[in-house]
A and B are shown apart, each in its own frame.
Chain A
Amino acid sequence: MTCTQLTEKLDDYVDDLMDQAASATLAAHIEGCDDCQHVLASEHRLRESLTDYGESTMPQPDAAFFDRTLAKATRSGTRRQRNRWVMTGVGGTIAAGLALWMLGGMFLKTPDIAESGIPAIAMTLEEPRTLNLVFSSASALANATMTVVLPQGVEVEGFAGQREITWMTSLTEGKNVLPLTLIATSPHGGELMATLRHEGDDRTFRVRVTVI
């Protein structure tokens, strides 16, 4: 046994990870070696300082911090229930959980549910209407992608002639409202699809648009 071996095995010796025989041999060497006793004493001081450091540098939260944080998590947290996206439904009637409403003047009106189960809205030619897609996310998400595919003869205000529009968006935790101002330019109508994607997860919102 040499002093170099203590240097090499110091961690294992202090952590008591050596086998019993090797540990006993090293202990016998240390007992007769002033240098190794000094090294070992230094190591014990370092470990003691590291333990001391834990208590002396750890700030304490204020007394109500845990209660407050638990309450906040359960109050504002939305349970994912194994799906990243949690949709909120208006009146709980929409099977897919899609919530949307039409803002028409001063009143709020939920869309009708067509026989197919897809929500339906009626528009008047050349009259802008705002369709709000409402969804909830269990947590804030950055770099989500929204793609809207429009039926023939329906445009998003500011994007004349485009049947498909894609843009990046971010979601806050909880309820998010995404307004789309639509204009019907011809009496065709059809199905509007809005797809939200994030890290391989996606949800598609479908709305049947009729133009009168």
Chain B
Amino acid sequence: MSPVDHNQRASFDALLRPHLDRLYRFAYRLAGSKPEAEDLFQDVLLKAFARLDDLLEVGEPGSWLCRVMYNHFIDNRRRFARARLVSVEESQLPGQSVDSLPGDLDPVRDAERLENIMRLEQALAVLSDEHRLVVLLHDTEGYKLEEIHQITGDPLGTIKSRLHRARARLREILGADGTNARP
């Protein structure tokens, strides 16, 4: 390895490492399954290294990486759409869905949270891809509307409207089955 190569690799490593957790979570929210998320994650790191010159110049590498990942996901949607089908199949298998929660030591509270999350998972599966993604990014992952706009390139008004509709649909579904209506 030449000194130049070594420096490039060291720069790449230093630049990306602080963003890897967030990027991995973003990949999972897009792809919906671990194997596909990891494929997507690896594809994007390869792309990022190929564009190291660009990456070194951007002000917010985290957002830039998410944008590259989002575009790659959209361009290869057919390939990654496979994951949604698999995850639906897998979710029907015993032991493949959420079966435990970190944190709470109160078994009653724990059981209630678990039940809510499982119902929420089913409700999220009913949403369109666009609605599910925006509600997961905003309400679950804590992205700001402006950040989602920067990543997806969709107009801010469209994102806000999707979020509003997604939540309304979740309320409707969860309200209908009594989950969210429980005092």
Task: Using CB atoms and an 8 Å cutoff, list the residues of chain A in contact with chain B.
Answer: 11, 38, 41-43, 45-47, 49-59, 61, 65-66, 69-70, 72-74, 76-82, 138-139, 173
Measuring CB to CB, which residues of chain B are less than 8 angstroms from any residue of chain A? 8-9, 12-13, 16-17, 20, 24-25, 28, 34, 37-38, 41-43, 45-54, 98, 101-102, 113-114, 116-117, 120-121, 124, 135-136, 139-141, 163-164, 167, 170-171, 174-175, 180-183
In the complex, are the beta carbons of B50 and A66 less than 8 A apart? no
CB atoms of B102 and A56 under 8 A apart: yes
B20 touches A50 (CB 8 A): no
Instruction: Please judge, given known A-B contacts A56-B101, A139-B46, whether A46 and B174 are in contact too, CB under 8 Å.
Output: yes
Say which residue of A52, A69, A81 sits within 8 Å of B116 (CB atoms): A52
Instruction: Provide the residues of chain A in CB contact with B16, threshold 8 Å.
Output: 70
Complex alpha-carbon distance, A41 and B37, angstroms? 34
Interface secondary structure of A, over-half rule:
helix
A77 — which chain B residues lie within 8 A by C-beta?
45-46, 49-50
B115 to chain A, nearest CB (A): 10
**Candidates A52, A72, A74; contact of B13 at CB < 8 Å:** A74
Bound CA span A82–B55, Å: 11
A74 engages B113 (CB within 8 Å): no
What does DSSP make chain B's interface, helix, strand, loop or mixed?
helix
**Could you list 24 A-B pairs, sorted by A, with CB under 8 Å?**
A11-B167, A41-B183, A42-B181, A45-B180, A46-B180, A47-B139, A49-B116, A50-B140, A52-B101, A54-B140, A55-B102, A56-B117, A59-B28, A61-B34, A66-B24, A69-B42, A70-B20, A72-B45, A72-B46, A73-B48, A74-B8, A74-B12, A77-B49, A79-B49
**Pairwise interchain contact B25-A61, C-beta atoms closer than 8 A:** no
Contact of A82 (CB < 8 Å), options: B48, B53, B136: B53
Report the bound CA distance from A206 to B27 in whole Å: 42
Q: Are B24 and A61 in contact (CB-based, < 8 A)?
A: yes
B53–A81 touching, CB < 8 Å: yes
Chain A residue at minimal CB-CB distance from B98: A56
Nearest CB on B from A149, distance (A): 30
A63 to chain B, nearest CB (A): 13
Q: Determine if B50 and A54 form an interchain contact, defined as CB atoms under 8 angstroms apart.
A: no
Q: Indicate if the CB atoms of A53 and B121 lie closer than 8 Å.
A: yes
User: CB-CB < 8 A to B53: which residues of A?
Assistant: 79, 81-82
Given contacts A42-B175, A61-B24, A70-B13, contact A49 B49 (CB under 8 A): no
A11 lies within 8 A of B51 (CB): no
A78 touches B50 (CB 8 A): yes
Inter-subunit contact B51/A80 (CB<8 Å): yes
From B116, B121, B167, contact of A57 by CB (8 A): B121
> Chain B's nearest CB lies how many Å from the CB of A159?
33
B42 touches A72 (CB 8 A): yes
Partner of B117, one of A47, A52, A61: A52
Q: Tell whether A45 pairs with B46 under 8 Å between CB atoms, given A53-B121, A54-B140, A58-B25.
A: no
